[in-house]
Amino acid sequence: MNKILVKAEMLLLAILAVAAVLELLDSKLSILYIISLAGLGLVFFLFAQYPSQSKKDGGSDFKALLGLTIVPKVLWIATAITTIGILFYLQGFKGAFNLLGIGGSTIAVCTIILIILRFIKVKGVEQVIPILYRSYPALLAAAYFMFA
């Protein structure tokens, strides 16, 4: 299932890139934005439901559980919320700022938790870096839409 989600994510990112290029060419195909952002929100949420891939060498204490299981799942869900917030903002729906604020602040708090876990040398926290590569663009877009 993970391979299917990764391929779906790449396809939806390609559709989003095509939508951005068409927007620069003054084309009115906003349906591509809707499809790609809604699909990305769904894919990010489904990534959170996927079983944790954490290694057994992280230990069985709460810090390892927090860094290797809880925070990654919360990051995926926060990224999904932020992506849907971006979709709501672009469509002009009510509640967009609530979604952007909740999702963005959750990503920021999870980042602080991961930095603390890295400083106290919890093994395996670097496995979360690919999730951060997906979360930070959503966080930056949320900050732009909220404060612009």
pLDDT truncated to tens, each residue of the chain (148 aa)? Answer: 688 988 999 999 999 899 888 888 887 777 888 999 999 999 999 999 887 765 555 456 888 888 888 899 999 999 999 999 999 998 899 999 999 999 999 999 999 999 898 898 888 788 888 889 999 999 999 999 998 8
The per-residue pLDDT for 61 is 83
Task: Give the pLDDT of residue 54.
Answer: 59
Taking the CB of residue 103, how many other CB atoms lie within 10 A of it?
A: 25
How many helices (H) and strands (E) in the chain? Answer: 6, 0
So what's the pLDDT on residue 53?
Answer: 61
Distance CA 35, CA 40 (A): 8
Closest CA to 45 of 10, 78, 12, 86: 78
Which run of H or E residues covers position 1?
Answer: none
pLDDT value of residue 25: 87
The CB-side HSE value for 106 (13 A sphere, CA atoms) comes to: 22
- Are the C-beta atoms of residues 63 and 122 closer than 8 Å to each other? yes
* pTM of the model as a whole: 0.88
